[in-house]
Structure 1
Amino acid sequence: MELEGQWWKGELAEDIYQALRYKELRLPVYKGQSPQLSLRRYFADLIAIVSNRFKLCPAARHLAVYLLDLFMDRYDISVQQLHMVALSCLLLASKFEEREDRVPKLETLNSLGCMSSMNLVLTKQGLLHMELLLLETFQWNLYLPTAAHFIEYYLPVAVNEMDLHDGWPMVCMEKTMLYMSKYADYFLEVSLQDHAFLRFVPSLVAAACVASSRVILRLSPTWPPRLQRLSAYTWEQLLPCVERLLITHDSDVKEANKQKCPQPSAQPAQMVYPIQGQSVSLHQYMQRPNTQYMQQNCQPVVVSSQGPATYLTHTAPMQVSTAPLHGLTQTQSMDAKVNMPSRAYQVNSLYPCFDR
């Protein structure tokens, strides 16, 4: 067994998990006071683009963005310097989380198209100076847990054969686990793009990503006892973070539908959820008790001023060149195809059918 990639399956998994939980209680305080806070999303995307180009692990990407957040929170940095800081954070994180042969090389970084578009050329001396400044800022401590570290511990038990899909037993456990992994990755990226998620501890964000994935996949119960015992979080504790994640998901679904079927004359769509024949807002839906909420169909519907509420339906894949975001596909038949909502910098892809 490769413990390097699957530490949660080893005999020391519980000790590692407890060490991460202990460490997250001592993470530096994030105040959100950077003068360049409005540029934070741009540089998080830049880190994600470079990280995907070199196929770095999620832990390296999340650690890099976290280092950037903490550094920006303490210093007033010019935009030109922020490019150097962001890439230096990624290099430090990759050196800490990845194997040596996977760490991006200076020559390869400078050859990227995004570097030429920014008219930015990195030098060895400049990178070493910035890395030293970062290490001194963090007192040479890069052991900073992120949600990407915890998600690997929750995912192996995120789906169980006893779970129900739309109130029915699951036919294909493997496909359900595949979609759970894909949606958990999606929500993990959502949490990376908004600094508001830094007010939650990383383990809670990871648990909320799993819970949100179960909501979208219509698995019940929404937050089963095994996940509550493992994470030590109740459904009520996860609600604020889950609601924020699902709001972003609904926004991505609406954007995907707007790209697919533009309606200039229509009023902005409002995302609502069906409960026993009634349409309620996401906030009202999330506030229902877990025992009731877990039995409902979690497929969002869209309300338009042009007509009654209808289910969001995609009957054909969207073109990548014109629509960077995918919506969730739901058909009326027993066979349903799921298209992952993806962030703009990610490569869009279609996955096999999710069969009942």
Structure 2
Amino acid sequence: MELEAQWWTGQLAADIHQALRYKELKLPSYKGQSPQLHLRRYFADLIAIVSNRFRLCPAARHLAVYLLDLFMDRYDISVQQLHVVALSCLLLASKFEEKEDSVPKLEQLNSLGCMTNMNLVLTKQNLLHMELLLLETFQWNLCLPTAAHFIDYYLSIAVHETDLHDGWPMVCLEKTKLYMAKYADYFLEVSLQDHAFLNYAPSLVATACVASSRIILRLSPTWPTRLHHLTAYSWDFLVPCIERLLIAHDNDVKEANKQKGQHAQSAQHTVFQSPAPTPQQASVQQHIPQYLQAHQPSLHYHHQTSEQQNCQQILSANHTASYPLQTCPAALQSSVQARGHGQTGAAMSLAVPLEVKPCISVSYNRSYQERGPYHNVQNGGRMVVLFLPGAE
């Protein structure tokens, strides 16, 4: 959004925060009912990687993924068109959040590996049509708060000199603030990976990212009064979202341990017997029940030294590196290949018409249930199917 740089440090910070909280009450509802929901993770990662490639701000990245989620939720999009939809969402978000010279150019997008590997080409007409359709879908309102819009305001008081680390006074306040910011950014990226986080208000997700970071850093009290007052969220209200974030964190730690073990095993190829799991690898599976036991704010996250090193390895790079975009999903790959069959020696151009057709009636509300297969829901609002050329 068009907010002054570092607004959270200015005199109007409380007023701006209040305005953002008011706007999030009017956000479009999300049902998680897209027929292409199984491809959502791939395209969310694609947006994150491309935004990192062009050094876009977190607000642009999160807004782009949010636009994609809402658009997929309302339209039945052929899989071969999801690339142009995802990149158009990123372009709109970057135009809204970034300076003009930071917005990716068309030729830069076409040079991306994900486009060249699949022999896809975006045209100016494609992007203009899709941007227009997106804007009409959201009624020309892109002022949609995300967790990234709240996080800096909450981080401004996330660490205080009166906090304790492992029950002792902090040795270096500035270093702790730095790690707090890194972990909060990490958890923000975690929240992009799973559409289930759309079931929570953006301000709640941002608050849970701060609380999860305090747990990982073993700061006490886990949820101090100052954060309770600033965010207006109690600890008990945050627990479900915190638990999701910490489970994802442990999965990353497990993956880091697994990769570390594989590298060590390949380096010691002369040893025929596989090494036994380390105590840290065995104990990491037992952490989740301990995180929120009795839902007490005094809980701490107990990782051994080697696990802390793995966590730091995760933080040392962008979180999207933990979710490599190695290959396109099989369904998407086969669909694009089928679409491009017969176009020998020529790149496939993506075309998007503006015509849409009502399909089924759906009910939109804040509480949604995650679905696997696609279901028709009767009564309520409106859902439309985006009919695209060549879509079967």
Q: Give TM-score, length-normalised by structure 2.
A: 0.74
Letter paired with 1:343 = H
What CA deviation, in whole Å up to 9, does each residue of 1:88-141 have, x standing for no partner? Answer: 000000011111111111122112223211222111011000000000111111
Letter paired with 2:32 = G
Partner of 2:166: 166
Partner of 1:282: 288
Counterparts of 2:259 and 2:6, CA distance in 1: 39
**Equivalent residues of 1:253, 1:341 under 8 A apart:** no
In the superposition, relative to structure 1, how do residues 137 and 266 fare at CA in structure 2: closer, same or farther (>3 Å)? farther
Task: Find the residue that maps to 1:161 and give its secondary structure.
Answer: coil
Q: How does 1:248-267 map onto structure 2 within 5 Å?
A: 248-262=248-262
**Equivalent residues of 1:47, 1:86 under 8 A apart:** yes
Counterparts of 2:276 and 2:318, CA distance in 1: 25
**Equivalent residues of 1:148, 1:188 under 8 A apart:** yes
Partner of 2:150: 150
Question: How far did 1:345 drift?
Answer: 3.0
Counterparts of 2:114 and 2:95, CA distance in 1: 22
Counterparts of 1:66 and 1:254, CA distance in 2: 28
Counterparts of 2:276 and 2:171, CA distance in 1: 40
Letter paired with 2:288 = L
Structure 1 residue 327 corresponds to structure 2 residue 310 = yes
Partner of 1:74: 74
In the superposition, relative to structure 1, how do residues 118 and 4 fare at CA in structure 2: closer, same or farther (>3 Å)? farther
What CA deviation, in whole Å up to 9, does each residue of 1:136-161 have, x standing for no partner? Answer: 11111101000000001101110000
In the superposition, relative to structure 1, how do residues 49 and 248 fare at CA in structure 2: closer, same or farther (>3 Å)? same
Partner of 2:371: none
In the superposition, relative to structure 1, how do residues 189 and 129 fare at CA in structure 2: closer, same or farther (>3 Å)? same
Letter paired with 1:240 = P
Question: How far did 1:272 drift?
Answer: 5.2
Q: 1 or 2, which has the higher helix percentage? A: 2
Counterparts of 2:200 and 2:122, CA distance in 1: 34
Task: Find the residue that maps to 1:299 and give its secondary structure.
Answer: coil
**Equivalent residues of 2:183, 2:315 under 8 A apart:** no
In the superposition, relative to structure 1, how do residues 342 and 286 fare at CA in structure 2: closer, same or farther (>3 Å)? farther
Q: How does 1:1-356 map onto structure 2 within 5 Å?
A: 4-262=4-262, 281-293=287-299, 296=300, 298-300=301-303, 311=304, 313=306, 327-328=310-311, 340=316, 343-345=319-321
Counterparts of 1:160 and 1:97, CA distance in 2: 30
What CA deviation, in whole Å up to 9, does each residue of 1:173-228 have, x standing for no partner? Answer: 11101100100000000001100000000000000000000000111111110000
Question: How far did 1:29 drift?
Answer: 0.7
Q: Mean Cα displacement is larger for which, 104-113 or 215-224? A: 104-113
Fraction of identical pairs, as percent: 72
Task: Find the residue that maps to 2:59 and give its secondary structure.
Answer: helix
In the superposition, relative to structure 1, how do residues 26 and 338 fare at CA in structure 2: closer, same or farther (>3 Å)? closer
Q: Give TM-score, length-normalised by structure 1.
A: 0.81
Q: Mean Cα displacement is larger for which, 208-217 or 118-127? A: 118-127
In the superposition, relative to structure 1, how do residues 128 and 271 fare at CA in structure 2: closer, same or farther (>3 Å)? farther
Q: Mean Cα displacement is larger for which, 82-91 or 255-264? A: 255-264
Counterparts of 1:179 and 1:160, CA distance in 2: 13
Question: How far did 1:290 drift?
Answer: 3.0
In the superposition, relative to structure 1, how do residues 32 and 291 fare at CA in structure 2: closer, same or farther (>3 Å)? closer
**Equivalent residues of 1:328, 1:341 under 8 A apart:** no
Letter paired with 1:103 = V
**Equivalent residues of 1:59, 1:97 under 8 A apart:** yes
Partner of 1:307: none
Counterparts of 2:191 and 2:152, CA distance in 1: 16
Q: Mean Cα displacement is larger for which, 236-245 or 112-121? A: 112-121
Task: Find the residue that maps to 2:160 and give its secondary structure.
Answer: coil
Q: What is the root-mean-square deviation of aligned Cα atoms in Å?
A: 2.5
Task: Find the residue that maps to 2:28 and give its secondary structure.
Answer: coil
Question: How far did 1:266 drift?
Answer: 6.4
Question: How far did 1:83 drift?
Answer: 0.3
Q: Which has the higher contact order (CA 8 A, sep 6+)?
A: 2
Q: How many residues align?
A: 310
Question: How far did 1:327 drift?
Answer: 1.8
Counterparts of 2:243 and 2:136, CA distance in 1: 37
Counterparts of 1:218 and 1:165, CA distance in 2: 6
Partner of 1:318: none
Task: Find the residue that maps to 1:214 and give its secondary structure.
Answer: helix
